[in-house]
Amino acid sequence: MGIFKKLDLKVNFKLSWKGIFFKKINEIYPKSKKRTILQKLIYTKNKFLTMIISIIIPTYNEEDYLPNLLDSIKRQNFDGYEVIVADANSTDRTREIAESYGCIVVDGGLPAVGRNNGARVAKGEYLLFLDSDLELTDDYLRNVLYEFRMEHLGIAITKMKPMSDKIEDKIFHDFANYFMIGVEKIKPHGAGCYGIITKKSLHDECGGFDESLTFGEDTDYIERLAEKERFRVLRNARIGVSTRRLEEEGIVTLIRQYGKSTVNDFLGKRTDAADLNYNFGHGHEKLTTERMEGIAKRTEQLNQVKKNYDKSVDIVKTAQDNLKKSHNRDRKVVFYCVCGEGMGHSIRTGVIVDRLKEKYDIYIFTHGNAYNYLSSKFDNVFKIGGFNTVYINNKVDNVKTLVSALKRNPQNMRSSYDELYKKAKELSPDVIVTDFEIYSTYVSKLLNIPLISLDNMHIITQADISYPQNQRLEMLKAKAVIKTYVVKPKIHIITSFFYPKVRGNHHAVIYPPIIREDILKLEPTEEDHIIVYQTSKESVKLVKRLKALKDEKFIVYGFNKEEVDGNLTYKLFNEDVFYDDLASAKAVVCNGGFTFISEAITLKKPIYSVPAKGNFEQVLNGYYVQRLGYGEYHEVMSVNRLAKFLKKLPKYQEKLSQVKKYNNDGIIKELIYRIEKYSK
């Protein structure tokens, strides 16, 4: 901090520290030392601030434009950024201006060289590449980062907003925006470096910009990174774009240049700057009288097109406004449809609805135990039909499950129609969220209501999972069933305690498990009992085998009774008592239920899992418990194996101690973002 002492200043790094120092630096230090001093200041600042984003700007003789961009960056309501200017030996005051704003200045060259040089010294998690003649709109950095993160992107560009009131400029840039959005899934494209944002790790992995290219290096860069991770044209942020090229070269020349390069891109060719008469630094091209007259004529034509366009927009907007008025409500309506089998789906829903109910009007539709649980906690809970798996001796009986489903289907359809479909017609929900509930898909498709899937089941269909090879047939059966339950939602929000890679082109995101707030508040201890959690009545024989371990104490939940049988203590389910027993247990014995396993992992409890046979989702959970070192997975209950497991508890506790504890904020933010996005 010796520099600051010499400057005799009190430092507030959250404020614009750059302007505070440079006047003093100019007074105290000779020009030869300024750059060294500035670098020390920036290094010291970076130790105090988390560097989120590095803004990289290649320049050459940009003294007229660079101050506008840097001023717009300073006006952002955002901390945690650095500005790196890569200058190509400017002969004007560009470097001096950059230094006076506190930018890190490195040597540049052609744009690709400058951007790569800037990225090499960048400290941010994200890189934002800008041209020097741009201006950031209000809250640009916040909007860009928010959408980039929420859409789980690797590379993105922003839409353009011309810094001009001319109609032809607006139409030209609107067309460019629509074109880039239209081809984003076919051919990721970026016409000019108008706000390219990416992860620094991805930039480094792909080797940065191709410095051998003299034109189209930005599009080449986007294409290569988009092969690795998802690309998108961001919808919520626009960047102010200078129209100087349009003014200097004319719209026809510019369309020819970018049109030819775009066609070449789609043909897999690269375009050289010499082919287009393009120069870094914007050389001027004289406009003849004939060209001026031609442009004037085309401008008149564009004016007429713009009038017709504006008229169409007004008609559409009026219709949309009238539709919104017809709803006559201040809050969005969300239908939340929940699978009623077991307790996991309902427990997860309870946590989510408790967080969303102040923001949205939520109507819950479910069946079975989930209806009893959720109706005791919330208003507007409606009972619909549903299916349950039939277990015999801890094994799925496919025949009896099918027979039961066929018998109950007519009644289920009738009750679902009476409650879910009629309510949807009456209330016109803005969106439907489904936690593996089958009838929500039908209502969504029939009434054209956006559908969001949030569950743990779709990890099986949406990600590259590992599983025991002898379970391949069960995996294929599970996939087939899961795909019939939820059909083509807008997105799959998946909750999981393991994190396989999402399959390419699948619109899915994975978050840590949703854990009850009361569980998150618990401080785990270790007493001498073991929790046994079974939800199937057919597990009685399995549990009774535990009596053979006479030196161990077992507290058993799931059989709806209070009883002591030797070393087995059966308890009725009471959340407060259950929480205390789980938090103080030395280990747990369970099937493969996702929610209980997730809560046990959160409380660092070693897990002995015996999944129900034929239930692939349970098998998968047990398999990953063992794979991650959190416990063991076995196909049958064995007293001898359990005894050996209990002797290895320190090994599993050590692995569990490394598990990071998450709250539910991330997945709640994701769901809110999707509700707002899809209900527009």
DSSP letters, 531-548, are: EEE---GGGHHHHHGGGG
d(CA 52, CA 83): 12
Which residues are paired to 654 by β-bridges? none
**Distance (Å, whole) CA 400 – CA 627:** 33
Contacts of residue 38, Cβ cutoff 8 Å, sequence gap at least 6: 25, 99, 102, 104
- Per-residue pLDDT at 169: 72
Sequence-distant (≥ 6) Cβ neighbours of residue 654 within 8 angstroms: none
Q: Are 383 and 415 in contact (CB under 8 A)?
A: yes
The Cα–Cα gap between 661 and 673 comes to 23
Closest CA to 615 of 450, 460, 506: 460
Q: Which amino acid is at 166?
A: K
**Contact predicate 617/592, CB 8 Å:** yes
SS3 assignment, position 88? coil
The values of phi and psi at residue 279, to 5°, are -130, 135
Q: What pLDDT, on the 0 to 100 scale, is given for residue 16? A: 41
Instruction: Give the global pTM.
Output: 0.73
pLDDT at 348: 96
| CB distance 567 to 546 below 8 Å | yes
**Is there a contact between 57 and 130 (Cβ–Cβ < 8 Å)?**
yes
Residue 222's CB is within 10 A of a number of other CB atoms, namely 23
Backbone torsions φ then ψ of 608, nearest 5 degrees:
-110, 105
- What's the confidence (pLDDT) of residue 544? 82
Cα 38–Cα 42–Cα 46 angle in degrees, nearest 5: 170
Which pLDDT value is given to residue 282?
47
3-state secondary structure 331-395: CCEEEEEECCCCCHHHHHHHHHHHHHCCCCEEEEEECHHHHHHHHCCCCCEEECCCCCCCEECCE
Residue 393 has a pLDDT of 56
Distance CA 464, CA 508 (A): 12
Phi then psi dihedrals of residue 367, to 5 deg: -150, 175
Size of the chain in residues: 680
Q: Which CATH superfamily is domain 522-662 in?
A: Glycogen Phosphorylase B; (3.40.50.2000)
The residue ranges of every structural domain in the chain are 53-245, 291-325, 333-515+668-677, 522-662
Q: Are strands 231-241 and 134-136 parallel, antiparallel or unpaired?
A: antiparallel
CA distance 639 to 547: 9
Q: Per CATH, the architecture of 333-515+668-677 is what? A: 3-Layer(aba) Sandwich (3.40)
- Within 8 A by CB and 6+ apart from 42, the residues are 82, 102, 104
The reported pLDDT for the residue numbered 46 is 44
513 class by beta-carbon count within 10 Å (0-12 exposed, 13-18 middle, 19+ buried):
buried
333-515+668-677 shares the fold of 53-245: no
Structure tokens belonging to residue 518 = 């009361």
Q: 103-106, long-range: CB within 8 Å, 24+ apart, which pairs?
A: 103/57, 103/70, 104/38, 104/39, 104/42, 105/35
Task: Write out residues in the chain with pLDDT < 50, as ranges.
Answer: 1-21, 42-48, 250-252, 254-255, 257, 260-263, 266-267, 271, 273, 276, 278, 282-287, 291-292, 295, 299, 302, 324-326, 390-391, 401, 403, 406
CA distance 108 to 86: 4
Give me the pLDDT at residue 303, please.
53
Contact 365, 419 (CB under 8 A): yes
Q: How far is 433 from 438, CA to CA, in rounded Å?
A: 11
Torsion, Cα of 169, 175, 178, 183 (10° steps): -130
CA distances from 429 to 93, 332, 352, 393 (A): 58, 7, 18, 42
pLDDT of residue 198: 96
62 HSE (CA, 13 A, CB side): 27
Structure tokens at 233: 């044209």
Instruction: Please report the pLDDT score of residue 107 as a whole number.
Output: 95
CATH class of 53-245: alpha beta
Query: What stretch of H or E contains 136?
Result: strand 134-136
**Confidence (pLDDT) at 388:** 60
